[in-house]
Amino acid sequence: MKPYAYVTLRQRPEVRQTAAAWFHDKWGVPQKAYLACMDDYLAGKTEYGWYLCLDGGCIAGGLGVIENDFHDRKDLAPNVCAVYTEPAYRGQGIAGRLLAMAVEDLRSKGITPVYLITDHTHFYERYGWEFLCMVQGDNDPEMTRMYIHR
């Protein structure tokens, strides 16, 4: 198996613009929103970081951590967001490794538990996440699954 580089954005700040464009392409959230969160992280204004799996100069997968991932439970923070692995890289444990990296990084800074919202069932459980409750997503007609990692 090819070795990938698992990094935080603080370790590779030069990929900031590329990462913001990549996340925007995957999720449709404005690049400016990603850049604002990334800039706060890079400036040390927050410990809610951005985590990437790099294959050379290519982003194979990534995720971020933000205060609230567009849902009504503002008390459940922080939230892992924007989890994505490129289709060609799926099935290699990249998302699981990024999730573990984020949880451990936050835990080392005294930030626990961590939450995430998803429509997936059974995926996050593999990585130590537990279903917590249903939450109302901003502008979503349906409720969304909320998970916790303690």
Is residue 141's pLDDT more than 60?
Answer: yes
Mean pLDDT over residues 12-38, rounded? 97
In CATH, which superfamily holds the domain spanning 5-110? Gcn5-related N-acetyltransferase (GNAT) (3.40.630.30)
d(CA 30, CA 32): 5
CB 106 within 8 A of CB 65: yes
Is residue 6's pLDDT more than 70?
Answer: yes
42-92 pLDDT, tens digit per residue, is: 999 999 999 999 999 899 999 999 999 989 999 999 999 999 999 999 999
Burial class (CB in 10 A: 0-12, 13-18, 19+), 53: buried
Q: What is the pLDDT of residue 1?
A: 56
31 to 17, 22, 51, 132: CA distances (angstroms): 9, 9, 16, 30
Mean pLDDT over residues 98-127, rounded? 96
Dihedral sign of CA atoms 75, 83, 104, 33 in order: negative
Q: What is the pLDDT of residue 138?
A: 87
